[in-house]
């Protein structure tokens, strides 16, 4: 693809992006900066609004309506990106031979290169009983709209899952005045990312500061509707919990269906190499739908790095630019008790080391140091949380 202005620009086959989430738009912006002329079409099954998804778990306390979360609507984004944005358009198939995608109304669109940015969907776990009536999940702006309606009249919410989103929603809802119980199979919150001592402290602090009731090492076996909006939950340790609704935050599953049906290689996500190229050299993927060089991680920072690499490769017309993630910080959005972490395995997973923990009352700094005493990762909580930039600088400069 070229950034020289062509004679008959409108006749050229576009770069097509499927998805208008942060991956689709962050990439589109990076690529458009380098290539102002090649036609661009973004196809999305939602309304194409540009919004910050991480806000969904903190917007209620800030009294933000769904409309107030919209940074720019699809028409504004189309203008900014000199793009055609097809909203409410569900892509149902990719025809790699013909270089086309197909919509559910049967229409097709040709692509020169195709970028999959089609995200992930909430994981559904098998629970017996009145699941449909009791449960809800929030993974996009439309869900957030429904969620606000769903909450009305409720007092006690169970949150299923104690990862990043589950913990943030627990904090948000408890601060908004709801009684919150978290039900999780994990031993402590954020167990995929932080060591037990940090997770246990986070759990204690959010219990004492916000009143969150943690039911750890258990799962939800069944839901029985007692009457409208009143549910009895049966947990795997045989205990019961009476709640008004269940917010599921048990994780995500990458949207790989289109890629699979088109015969692309997939695993946890659409498999792409360090140049973001899939098993078809004309199809690329990034964001929550992509497994990049064996890594499937659903965070914003990787999307920025992937976007820069992919934009360079598409503009240059080769696959030479390679992705190298630097150390990245993730901040838990729990204002009452802040926590930031940098996962050692995101940067140098082969390094052996150990966690060294400093704690003063409810505040903790956990440093992961390798055998040469180099800092490789960390967790900082409470008053230590503001040290995250200093620690990140130490990692990146060593
Ligand atoms: C509540 C919450 C809080 C979060 N907080 C943080 C945080 O603090 N920090 C952080 O780093 N990350 C956070 N994340 C994760 C982060 O928001 C995501 O990793 C990121 O937004 C994913 O962007 P995406 O574009 O890949 O996917 P999505 O936003 O899911 O976008 C996918 C797009 O693809 C479209 N699409 C899908 N299938 C089709 C189809 N067949 N046809 C047409 N269009 C299709 C959808 O309509 C959508 O536009 C949070 C996530 C949630 C849910």
Neighbours of 187 (CB within 10 A): 13
**Are 153 and 262 within one domain?**
no
Structural domain contains residue 333: no
- 326 within a domain of the structure (yes/no): no
Specify which residues 381 forms β-bridges with. Answer: 339
Which domain-ending residue is among 197, 218, 248?
248
Domain boundary among 248, 282, 308: 248
Instruction: Work out which ligand 1 atom sits closest to the CA atom of 46.
Output: 47
At 245 the pLDDT is: 96
User: Which residue from 54, 122, 171 has its CB within 8 A of the most atoms of ligand 1, so it is best to mutate?
Assistant: 54
Domain enclosing residue 241, as ranges: 124-248
Ligand 1, atom 46: closest residue by C-alpha: 19
- Do 155 and 218 fall into the same domain? yes
* Å from CA of 32 to ligand 1 middle: 21
184 occurs within a structural domain: yes
**pLDDT for 350:** 54
> Which residue among 300, 307, 325, 338 has the greatest number of ligand 1 atoms within 8 angstroms of its CB, and so is best to mutate?
300
Distance between Cα 342 and ligand 1 center (Å)? 21
One domain, residues 146 and 231: yes
Atom number of ligand 1 nearest to Cα 89: 43
The answer to whether residue 96 sits within a structural domain is yes
What pLDDT is stored for residue 132 in this prediction?
82
- Does some domain include residue 323? no
Structural tokens at position 87:
């909203």
Say if 293 falls within a structural domain.
yes
Q: Is the same domain home to 117 and 263?
A: yes
> Which of 16, 19, 57 is the best mutation target for the ligand 1 pocket, counting ligand atoms within 8 Å of the beta carbon and taking the most?
19
pLDDT for res 7: 54
Global pTM reads 0.95
187 and 141 in a single domain? The answer is yes
What pLDDT is attached to residue 229? Answer: 83
357 found inside a domain: yes
Residues 239, 265 within the same domain? no
Burial class (CB in 10 A: 0-12, 13-18, 19+), 316: middle
Average pLDDT for runs of 10 along the chain of length 398: 54 92 98 96 98 95 92 98 98 98 96 98 89 92 95 96 98 97 98 96 98 97 90 96 96 97 98 98 98 95 98 96 94 97 67 90 95 92 97 92
Q: Is residue 327 part of a domain?
A: no
- Indicate the number of domains in the chain: 3
Claim to verify: residue 130 and residue 233 sit in the same structural domain: yes
Q: What is the pLDDT of residue 124?
A: 86
Q: For ligand 1, pick from 77, 108, 119 the residue to mutate: most ligand atoms within 8 Å of CB.
A: 119
Nearest protein CA to atom 38 of ligand 1, as residue: 118
**Angle in degrees, 0-180, between the axes of helices 22-34 and 74-81, rounded to the nearest 10:** 20
Q: Is 214 left (phi over 0), alpha (psi -120 to 50) or beta?
A: beta
CATH number at residue 115: 3.50.50.60
294 & 191 share domain:
no
Instruction: Tell me the CA–centroid distance for residue 16 and ligand 1, in Å.
Output: 18
Helix, strand and coil percent figures for the chain, each rounded to 5? 30, 30, 40
Looking at the structure, do residues 103 and 190 belong to the same domain, yes or no?
no
Residue 202: both structure tokens together? 């986070």
Q: Is there a single domain that holds both residue 280 and residue 224?
A: no
> Which of 230, 248, 266 is a domain's end point?
248
Question: Quick one: 363 and 304 in the same domain?
Answer: no
Q: Can you give the pLDDT at residue 347?
A: 47
Pairing of strands 220-227, 128-129: parallel
Residue 372 tokens, joined: 């040469």
Q: Which pair of structure tokens corresponds to residue 165?
A: 């989103």
The ligand 1 site (C-beta within 6 Å) comprises: 18-24, 43-46, 53-54, 56-57, 90-91, 117-119, 138-139, 165, 255, 258, 287-288, 298-301, 330, 333
Residues 164 and 312 in one domain: no
């Amino acid at each position: 693809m070229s950034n020289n202005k062509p004679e008959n620009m409108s006749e050229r086959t576009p770069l097509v992006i499927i998805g208008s989430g942060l991956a689709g738009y962050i990439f589109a912006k990076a690529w458009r900066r380098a290539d102002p002329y090649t036609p661009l079409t973004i196809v999305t099954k939602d309304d194409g609004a540009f919004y910050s998804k991480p806000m969904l778990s903190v917007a209620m306390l800030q009294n933000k309506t769904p409309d107030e979360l919209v940074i720019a609507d699809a028409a504004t984004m189309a203008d900014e990106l000199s793009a055609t944005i097809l909203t409410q358009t569900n892509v149902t198939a990719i025809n790699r031979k013909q270089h086309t995608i197909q919509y559910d109304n049967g229409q097709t669109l040709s692509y020169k290169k195709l970028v999959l940015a089609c995200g992930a969907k909430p994981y559904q776990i098998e629970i017996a009983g009145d699941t449909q009536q009791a449960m809800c999940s929030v993974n996009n702006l439309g869900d957030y709209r429904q969620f606000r309606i769903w909450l009305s009249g409720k007092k006690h919410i169970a949150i299923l899952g104690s990862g990043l989103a589950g913990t943030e929603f627990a904090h948000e809802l408890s601060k908004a005045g709801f009684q919150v119980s978290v039900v999780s199979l994990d031993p402590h919150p954020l167990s995929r990312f932080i060591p037990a001592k940090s997770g246990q402290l986070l759990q204690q602090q959010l219990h004492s500061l916000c009143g969150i009731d943690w039911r750890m090492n258990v799962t939800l076996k069944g839901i029985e509707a007692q009457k409208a909006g009143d549910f009895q939950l049966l947990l795997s340790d045989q205990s019961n919990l009476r709640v008004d609704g269940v917010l599921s935050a048990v994780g995500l599953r990458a949207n790989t269906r289109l890629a699979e049906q088109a015969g692309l290689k997939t695993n946890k996500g659409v498999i792409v190499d360090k140049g973001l190229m899939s098993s078809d050299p004309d199809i690329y993927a990034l964001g929550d739908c992509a497994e990049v060089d064996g890594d499937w991680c659903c965070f914003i920072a990787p999307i920025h790095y992937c976007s820069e690499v992919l934009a360079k490769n598409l503009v240059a017309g080769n696959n030479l630019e390679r992705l190298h993630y630097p150390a990245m910080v993730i901040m838990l959005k729990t204002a009452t008790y802040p926590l930031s972490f940098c996962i050692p395995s995101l940067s140098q997973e082969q390094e052996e080391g150990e966690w060294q923990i400093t704690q003063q009352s409810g505040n903790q700094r956990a440093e992961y140091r390798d055998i040469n005493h180099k800092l490789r990762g960390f967790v900082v909580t409470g008053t230590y949380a503001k040290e995250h930039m200093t620690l990140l600088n130490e990692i990146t400069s060593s």
